[in-house]
A and B are shown apart, each in its own frame.
Chain A
Amino acid sequence: MAHFDENAKPFSNKWLDERIGLNTLMRVLNTEYWIPKNINFLWAMGMVLAATFGILLVSGIFLLMYYKPDANLAFDSINYTIMSEVGYGWLWRHIHGVGASIVFLIIYIHMFTGIYYGSYKRGRELIWLSGMGLFVAFSAEAFSGYMLPWGQMSYWAGMVITELFAGGSLEAVGLVEWIRGDYVPGDAYLTRFFMLHVLLIPLVIIGLIVLHFGTLRLPHVNNQEGEEIDYEEAAKLYKEGNVKESKVIPFSPVFLSKDLFVMGVYFILFFYLVFYHFDFAMDPVNFDPADGLKTPAHIYPEWYFLWSYEILRPFSKDIGLIAFAFAQVVFFLLPFMDRSPNVAPAHKRGLFQIWFWVLLVDMIILTAMGKLPPTDPTFAFVGLVSAVLFLLMWPILIIITKFEKKIEKGA
């Protein structure tokens, strides 16, 4: 039996510490969770993402109060009830729509920061894998949410994406109908994606966020030079008061205050978009109610899925599907495909630096091509070349990192 001080005031620090180990908790998660000093604003993207997820959750709760998951009622419950009757309903909707789009921008920045600085390597593989799990869960969350307004793009995106599960020539029509609960997207389809969007996938996301933080605690975050820091020594210096000489700062309150600064800048941009440019996240085609007998002239996904859509599009059906499936999983394999022993920023890794920028530019080109209608032969060709290049980048990565020279310590 542990000792409980009978004089401790209820809910005082001591009282709580004796009951839930408050001080240990604070030490492990905040005051003695050491963050290197040698980082830049890109290291704030994790907390920016956490805050954006929080904002999506809060705005989603308010939307949930008036949204009706019914194929006959859904469209009006958003476009009429929430937009013109509910007080400030438009605010929640625009926050939710803008947030869903911007969260992917930050996810991509977060991912490419990790790739640039080699933050997926030796000891940090699980951070990368849980992060990729989050990327997949966020993609599923975005797709299921996109179904809910039940407009033309909801319906037809739902049709095209669920059709992918037929596996091309495998013609697994039964599986597609099972996923939809109908021959075509209908009421059963809408209600099950509603369930996924508001409960199951958010639960998975929250679990993965906890895991992602957990995988970070022992390896610590990487730093700008990929330096292996002796955390015990650095922490000792810091605690002795040699704050200036120490290479680290505590997560809270010191690093968090820097995070909050970056978040402040970010939220100025975020709310500028919410109030003045929300239309970029609101496809005009989706303001027509779903109609199973009328395909929109040009079906395209939201911008964050365009690069992988463009990998599907230029090939014949089966090859396109295989290429698409490959593109979905290949980033998971990054820690095992990069054979180099160096944990260092790309600009110190020779050919890897070129590889990094080619990959980034290629994905931006794929994104631009994915938005264009399939009719222009020049752009279709550019799309094909970029898609083939994307697929080739991965074997190239294995080869160039295998021959990468080991960077000597202190160099």
Chain B
Amino acid sequence: MQENEKGRRDFMGMALGACAAVGGVGALYAAKRSWDPLPSVAAAGFTEIDVSGAQPNVLNVEKWRGKPIFVLKKTEDMEKDERDVIVGKDRFLIAIGLCTHLGCIPAYKDGEHKFKCACHGGEFDASGHQIFGPPPSPLVIPPFKVNGTKLVLGEEGPEYKKMKDAGLIA
């Protein structure tokens, strides 16, 4: 093969390779985007819950973005905690009801004031702190905003931001 011929073929090979590479990267990006959560799913809106009728030491489970949300009104004699959400005069535990180990839903034992996870034996107290087993961190507090006797989940209110800055949400 002549020198100029070789150069020409190398150029054609590289041009083809470059075009294929651009197309390949584009296709990979499209594939990645197709796996992304859909906008309708991602925008799954804000959930408003009314806590005025809550009974002390009775766990209510609400649903937000497909996840269970624990709403537990604390009794007077339950220990105060920095993670308590105060609505009116009442103190609440508001937390995503998924064990921080591997995402099972712990069950509330009202006699012991404890959450127990059946999957791997993890336990949390009534403020959501991990007290036994494999969970590495407390139950996560979802973004919330206090609005009278109501809570808006998904929106970051001032109380939530304060907790977040103090590193208390998880």
The answer to whether B136 touches A168, judged by C-beta atoms less than 8 angstroms apart, is yes
A292 nearest CB neighbor, chain B only: B66
The tally of CB-CB contacts under 8 A between chains A and B is: 78
Residue B29 CB within 8 A of the other chain:
no
What separation, in Å, do the CA atoms of A317 and B107 have in the docked complex? 20
The answer to whether B104 touches A178, judged by C-beta atoms less than 8 angstroms apart, is no
B interface secondary structure, majority: loop
The answer to whether B103 touches A297, judged by C-beta atoms less than 8 angstroms apart, is no
User: Smallest distance from the beta carbon of A27 to chain B beta carbons, Å?
Assistant: 39
**What 1/0 flags go to A278-309 for Cβ under 8 Å of B?**
00000000000000111111110000000000
Contact residues in A for B36 (Cβ distance below 8 Å)? 178, 181
What separation, in Å, do the CA atoms of A141 and B104 have in the docked complex? 24
The residues in B between 114 and 157 inclusive whose CB is less than 8 angstroms from any CB of A are 118-121, 134-136
The answer to whether B66 touches A186, judged by C-beta atoms less than 8 angstroms apart, is yes
What separation, in Å, do the CA atoms of A313 and B118 have in the docked complex? 13
Residue B80 CB within 8 A of the other chain:
no
Contact A295 to B41, CB < 8 A, known contacts A169-B136, A313-B120: no
The answer to whether B68 touches A298, judged by C-beta atoms less than 8 angstroms apart, is no
The residues in A between 207 and 221 inclusive whose CB is less than 8 angstroms from any CB of B are none
The answer to whether B136 touches A299, judged by C-beta atoms less than 8 angstroms apart, is no
Most chain B CB atoms below 10 A, which of A156, A169, A380: A156
The answer to whether B136 touches A295, judged by C-beta atoms less than 8 angstroms apart, is no
The answer to whether A181 touches B103, judged by C-beta atoms less than 8 angstroms apart, is no
Residue B44 CB within 8 A of the other chain:
yes
Most chain A CB atoms below 10 A, which of B38, B101, B120, B135: B120
Contact partner of B35 (CB less than 8 A), chosen from A163, A192, A294, A374, is A192
User: Smallest distance from the beta carbon of A370 to chain B beta carbons, Å?
Assistant: 12
User: Smallest distance from the beta carbon of B67 to chain A beta carbons, Å?
Assistant: 6
What separation, in Å, do the CA atoms of A222 and B118 have in the docked complex? 47
Contact residues in A for B135 (Cβ distance below 8 Å)? 317
The answer to whether B103 touches A182, judged by C-beta atoms less than 8 angstroms apart, is no
How extensive is the interface on chain A, given as a class?
35 or more
Contact A316 to B37, CB < 8 A, known contacts A160-B119, A297-B118: no
Contact residues in A for B101 (Cβ distance below 8 Å)? 317
**What 1/0 flags go to B36-60 for Cβ under 8 Å of A?**
1110010010000000000000000
Residue B8 CB within 8 A of the other chain:
no
Contact partner of A374 (CB less than 8 A), chosen from B44, B67, B103, B119, is B119
The answer to whether A163 touches B102, judged by C-beta atoms less than 8 angstroms apart, is yes
What separation, in Å, do the CA atoms of A231 and B50 have in the docked complex? 81
Contact partner of A177 (CB less than 8 A), chosen from B37, B105, B118, B120, is B37
What separation, in Å, do the CA atoms of A265 and B94 have in the docked complex? 59
The answer to whether A294 touches B105, judged by C-beta atoms less than 8 angstroms apart, is yes
What separation, in Å, do the CA atoms of A371 and B36 have in the docked complex? 34
Residue B162 CB within 8 A of the other chain:
no
User: Smallest distance from the beta carbon of A144 to chain B beta carbons, Å?
Assistant: 14
Contact residues in B for A91 (Cβ distance below 8 Å)? none
The answer to whether A188 touches B41, judged by C-beta atoms less than 8 angstroms apart, is yes
Contact residues in A for B134 (Cβ distance below 8 Å)? 315-317, 320
What separation, in Å, do the CA atoms of A295 and B102 have in the docked complex? 12
The answer to whether B66 touches A182, judged by C-beta atoms less than 8 angstroms apart, is yes
Contact residues in A for B105 (Cβ distance below 8 Å)? 293-295
Residue B87 CB within 8 A of the other chain:
no
Contact partner of A316 (CB less than 8 A), chosen from B67, B107, B136, is B136
The residues in B between 60 and 114 inclusive whose CB is less than 8 angstroms from any CB of A are 61, 63, 65-68, 101-105, 107
B118 nearest CB neighbor, chain A only: A297
The answer to whether A298 touches B66, judged by C-beta atoms less than 8 angstroms apart, is no
The answer to whether A183 touches B61, judged by C-beta atoms less than 8 angstroms apart, is no
Contact partner of A293 (CB less than 8 A), chosen from B68, B102, B121, is B68
Chain B: residues with CB nearer than 8 A to chain A?
35-38, 41, 44, 61, 63, 65-68, 101-105, 107, 118-121, 134-136
20 contacts between A and B (CB under 8 A): A156-B104, A160-B103, A163-B102, A177-B37, A178-B35, A179-B35, A183-B66, A184-B65, A184-B66, A186-B66, A188-B38, A292-B66, A292-B68, A293-B63, A295-B119, A298-B118, A316-B136, A320-B134, A373-B118, A380-B121
Chain A: residues with CB nearer than 8 A to chain B?
156, 159-160, 163-164, 168-169, 177-184, 186, 188, 192, 292-299, 313, 315-318, 320, 373-375, 380
Q: Known contacts A181-B41, A293-B63, A317-B135; can you find 10 more A-B pairs with CB under 8 A? A: A159-B103, A160-B104, A182-B41, A183-B37, A184-B65, A186-B41, A315-B134, A317-B101, A374-B119, A374-B121
Which 9 A-B pairs have CB atoms at the shortest separation, nearest pair first? A184-B66, A295-B105, A374-B121, A163-B103, A183-B65, A295-B104, A317-B136, A160-B102, A297-B118
